[in-house]
Every structure is written in C-alpha cells, then in structure tokens.
Chains A and B, each alone.
Chain A
Amino acid sequence: MKTEAATRSWLALCAASLFVMLPARAHHSTAAEFDASKPVTFTGTVQKVMWMNPHIYTHIEVKQAGAPSMVYHVEGGAPNALFRQGWRKDSLKVGDVVTVSGRRAKNPDSPNVGQATITAPDGHKIFSGDGPAKVSGD
C-alpha cells in the first residue's frame, strides 16, 4: 500500500541518516554486507553480547513454531564509543527479551543484522544514545 511504502521509505531514510551519524560505522562498508530491501523486525532472547571491535554483536535467539530457533547476530556500534556513551557489555544480560529492527545481510545464509535498533520491553533503546553509566562533566 502507498502509505505503508511511504512509511517504509521514511524508516529507510531515518535508518540511513542514523547510519551516517554513527561514526563507528565507518570501518567497513555496511552497504556491502546488508540489504536495504530486507528490513526485519523480531523479538527474542539475548544469548550473549560480543563486545568486540570495530562493532559489537548481540546474539538474539528467536523461537520459531515448528522449526529450530534462529539466532541473529545484531551488529552495533564501536565498543569504545559505546563505553563513552555509558554502555557496558552487561547493559544487556543473558535472557533479556528485546525487539530488534534492522536489515538482513545480502548473504541469505548469514545470521547478521545491521543498521539495527534494539528496544527493551519498556521502550528504551539499548546501545543507542546515552547509556546508564554515562559520566558527564570534565
């Protein structure tokens, strides 16, 4: 539908803008890995957080009816930048339930999801903006 398509385009624009604003994204070409035409949204359970350079990955398990679980690897920002924003590896804990919106990889066999936002059940974003350990002042 036209409205839905417009909304999708707007979301794509927002995601692209967010992508441009995130300095940590500069290290390799996300455009090369992820497919802008493959948006994905899912709710699952955190398995682990890989706190690694240049991008962190959060592994999130999604139960599927009548099929084995799918474990997505959700790419995030650079760990040093996230640390400075007040995020820590344990900002998400094993077993936490979150909702992810992002884009699937071009490779259909890849579990990676990029340009993603992770949202907690109470609506706040994880690994985005200022985190709980943010220190201000100088």
Chain B
Amino acid sequence: MPKSSTVLLVWVLQCCAVIAHAAAPADSIPHLSNGKPDLSGHWNNPYTPDMAVKGRVLDPKTRQPLDLSRAPLPDARSSAAGSGPRTLDLPYTEWGLKHWKSYDPVNDGDYAGSCLPFGMSRNINSPHGVQLVQSPEALAMLFEQNTWFHWVPTAGQKWPQDMPPSWNGISTGHWDGDTLVIETTGFNGYTRLDTAGHPHSKQLTLINTLRRVDAKTIEHTVTVHDPKTYTRDWMNVRTWRLKPASDVVMEYSCEENNLGNLFNGVIKPWKPPEDEDED
C-alpha cells in the first residue's frame, strides 16, 4: 500500500474513532420500544424549597430572568421554615399577593406537617429523589417523599371527564420531539408550589418538561400558568442527575413522628379553608 494511502486510512480511522466517541453519550441514552427516550431511573432532582430565588425565575419564551421588584412586604405574615422575609418575588395578581402575604402554616395549620399530599409542584421540589418508571404508554413518578406516586399517561389516553379535584392534580403527557411535556391540572387548591409557600389557585396549569440530555442527566423545566395568581407565566429550569446504583428509592412515612407532633401541639393540624372559593 502506498504511504499516502496508509496515512489517509489512519486519518479516516482516527476520524471514525473521534466521531464514535463524540456520539457515545447520545447513543447511551436508553430508548423505549417506540423510539422515544426512556427516562427511567432513580433521579436526584434538586431540592427547591423556594422557586422564586433571584435569577431562577425565567420567562418561558426567552429563558431569561424576569425583572421582578423584590420589594419588601412588611405586612406579610412570618415566613415559613427556612425562607427569608417575603418580598415581591413573583409577578403576583392582587389575589396572588394576598395569598402570598397571608400564608402562615405555623399558626393557621400546616398541611405538609400534617402529612397531607404536598401537590405536584412541591413533590418534585422535595429533597429525597424520584424514581421514574416508563413504558411507551405512561410514566410513573415514584416520589420518595412520603412514598407518594403520580401517574402520567403519555399515549393519548383520556382521564374521565368528571375526575374530582385533587392534591396532586391530573397529568397527561405528550412528546415534543425527544422532550416529554407533562401538563397537570385539576388541583384542589389546598397546596403551595414550594416550602416557602408561593401560592397557586385551582386554575393552575403546571407544565413540566423532561429531556434526557445524556445517560445521566435530565433537563427539567417547570412552567407555572395560573392567571388567577400570577400576571404572567414564569418558569424554573433545573438539572436532574442519575443517582448511583447503590442509592435506591426508600420508604418514607411522614406520620412516624409527625403524628406525635400533631397530638402534642408542636404542629398545628391543617383544616380546609372555611371561605373556600370555587374557582
């Protein structure tokens, strides 16, 4: 073989090796039998007790931070655990601002401390990870937090029209290319978006997207569409990491010792609001 041909062959082989290496992460994304990315796995989704942290509240269209006043709210009730003084940190409507300023789980009753369902948003925000189990027809989200689950049909199945409002809402999923889009509605309005207590109404549509960018990473976005509570839509973008194989989803019973705290008065039990509005 002429020397020039040998050089060319080596160069081509090297190029092939480089291309193969570059393509490896994408190829390593598992796929379902319908060709869509398989999101299954035990994921470390970042604990997000406050969705309105400066710089994290984005315009869903541009993904740029929203310009928010963040003015202090001196007439707001005392903050929930672990969060600072309340500010104008989201684009509230009048109704939304009223419910942001008045949230006081310590004195008015704590639904999370009472071990009631956190709601779809706060389930995903919670710190203990989520196991995803997926088929071409559906996605099951197994939240370690309080051993809750959530079912997301992804192949066009319809829920009954007359499903009652619920803590976690009703989700349907569809694919936009390789991104799974999960829309959730049908909330009972008893929950908050996060531990800090950011409000939502029964009109909330929560849009979560999940895109497996490589074998060990999911890009997660959540968009809040709730015209009763917010004057415009806003979003968070987060990165989920695949947990090591040694890290398995575990049982979690909130009642184990919160029951005692409810009986002895450390946690004030939650009750449904008496002046519950219907929308």
Known: A28-B261, A29-B105, A138-B244. A80 touches B252 (CB 8 A): yes
Tell me, in angstroms, the Cα distance from A107 to B113 when the chains sit together.
Answer: 18
Nearest Cβ on chain B to A67's Cβ, whole angstroms: 24
Is B127 within 8 A of A53, CB to CB? no
Which chain B residue shows the least CB distance to A33? B266
Report which of A24, A55, A137 forms a contact with B257, defined as CB distance below 8 A.
A55
Whether a CB of chain A sits under 8 angstroms from the CB of B209 is: no
Give every chain A residue within 8 A of B128 (Cβ-Cβ): 23, 78, 80-81
Tell me, in angstroms, the Cα distance from A112 to B265 when the chains sit together.
Answer: 13
Tell me, in angstroms, the Cα distance from A54 to B146 when the chains sit together.
Answer: 9
Known: A29-B113, A32-B266. A53 touches B253 (CB 8 A): yes
Known: A81-B128, A84-B247. A29 touches B81 (CB 8 A): yes
Nearest Cβ on chain B to A115's Cβ, whole angstroms: 11
Is A53 within 8 A of B112, CB to CB? no
Is A50 within 8 A of B250, CB to CB? no
Which residues from 40 to 59 on chain B have a C-beta closer than 8 Å to any C-beta of chain A?
47, 49
Known: A81-B128, A135-B246, A138-B244. A27 touches B106 (CB 8 A): no
Tell me, in angstroms, the Cα distance from A81 to B47 when the chains sit together.
Answer: 12
By secondary structure, the B interface counts as loop
Give every chain B residue within 8 A of A19 (Cβ-Cβ): 82
Binary contact track A22-44/B, C-beta < 8 Å → 1, others 0: 01111111111100000000000
Tell me, in angstroms, the Cα distance from A25 to B110 when the chains sit together.
Answer: 14
Tell me, in angstroms, the Cα distance from A57 to B261 when the chains sit together.
Answer: 13
Nearest Cβ on chain A to B264's Cβ, whole angstroms: 8
Whether a CB of chain B sits under 8 angstroms from the CB of A20 is: yes
Report which of B105, B250, B261, B265 forms a contact with A80, defined as CB distance below 8 A.
B250
Which residues from 63 to 121 on chain A have a C-beta closer than 8 Å to any C-beta of chain B?
78, 80-81, 83-84, 105, 107, 110, 112
Report which of A54, A83, A110, A138 forms a contact with B250, defined as CB distance below 8 A.
A83
Tell me, in angstroms, the Cα distance from A107 to B265 when the chains sit together.
Answer: 10
Whether a CB of chain A sits under 8 angstroms from the CB of B140 is: no
Whether a CB of chain B sits under 8 angstroms from the CB of A13 is: no
Whether a CB of chain B sits under 8 angstroms from the CB of A52 is: yes
Give every chain A residue within 8 A of B80 (Cβ-Cβ): 29
Is A28 within 8 A of B127, CB to CB? no
Known: A32-B106, A57-B257, A80-B252. A23 touches B81 (CB 8 A): no
Which residues from 237 to 279 on chain B have a C-beta closer than 8 Å to any C-beta of chain A?
242-247, 250, 252-258, 261, 264-267
Nearest Cβ on chain B to A60's Cβ, whole angstroms: 17
Is A138 within 8 A of B144, CB to CB? no
Is B258 within 8 A of A54, CB to CB? yes
Tell me, in angstroms, the Cα distance from A52 to B261 when the chains sit together.
Answer: 13
Give every chain A residue within 8 A of B47 (Cβ-Cβ): 23, 26
Give every chain B residue within 8 A of A23 (Cβ-Cβ): 47, 49, 127-128
Q: Which of A's residues lie within 8 Å of B, judged by CB?
A: 19-20, 23-33, 50, 52-55, 57, 78, 80-81, 83-84, 105, 107, 110, 112, 135, 137-138
Q: Which of B's residues lie within 8 Å of A, judged by CB?
A: 47, 49, 80-82, 105-106, 110, 112-113, 126-128, 144, 195, 242-247, 250, 252-258, 261, 264-267
28 residue pairs A–B, Cβ–Cβ below 8 Å: A20-B82, A23-B47, A23-B127, A25-B82, A26-B82, A26-B195, A27-B112, A27-B254, A27-B258, A28-B110, A29-B105, A30-B81, A32-B267, A33-B266, A53-B252, A53-B257, A53-B258, A54-B252, A54-B256, A78-B252, A81-B128, A107-B265, A107-B266, A135-B244, A135-B246, A137-B244, A137-B246, A138-B244
